[in-house]
Structure 1
């Protein structure tokens, strides 16, 4: 594992702990010699994780769509920046550049990126590990819903279990580095959902 893609908010949220966690995550990636790949913004949690990694002498790659370059105040001090034409191109490029994926707190955009990379994993478009840093219990309700979707027959156990969830940054990164690729099998024809 050499590069970790981080999905997170372009805002900071209402609790200062989220900015602290983003900064700690950026510093931890740099300390471990892992490249940060993220959405390229300089504001919100995106700015915090990138700035912390840069201040700790880490390598940071941003990927941002042309339309959002100004809106998300594209970061001008990164190790590497890709300005791409669309959101679809952004997400695809981030997947190409990364060896693992982690969602920090964020809104609809973060959830979109998390669910897309999970879906691509489920369908076999990639076999890279996907993690969720459940800082301050932010994702408790989402995880409860994921379990509910499994119980109702819409998410298979293998795919639910493939999402690596932790509250500790170092432990999460260790688990991602040790994760085995998710095996894609035949679609279920019984009550076990895909």
Structure 2
């Protein structure tokens, strides 16, 4: 018998002073049986950092044709495709052809560095792709605040972000930009 996803609920308050985006989101997150708390919380952090009224979680690990998150326009065209982890260059190239913007958020410290060196030459040619690498301890720290029912706050100011919960100290979400999109 196949294992089912575990459902998590999060009330997420976002105060993004850099983008002037202030909103509350009631999120339902399906955590795939093979997914860790760390990865799930990185998905929530990605949602918080790129939030909009049309950004939504996708099937992710359960469907190879969907990212972790996407934002579609009102016609159904994919505006933004967000991948969490270390996808191969073919997946990134396919996403680049399907979406206006592709964002990859890698995490894992040293393994992210090794992954980036392996895909860099092919990914750098893709004009609409952004690649971030989270700080080495960020995913683990986020994973520690995961609960089945969460109340989270995300604050973004001056290019820095913090995610906290009512039960834990805020986590500084630090990242470096490995590749920025080219201006077309």
Same fold flag (TM > 0.5): no
After TM superposition, the score normalised by the length of structure 2 is: 0.33
Greater RCO between the two (CA within 8 Å, min separation 6)?
A: 2
More helix by share: 1
- Higher share in strand: 2
- TM value normalised by structure 1: 0.32
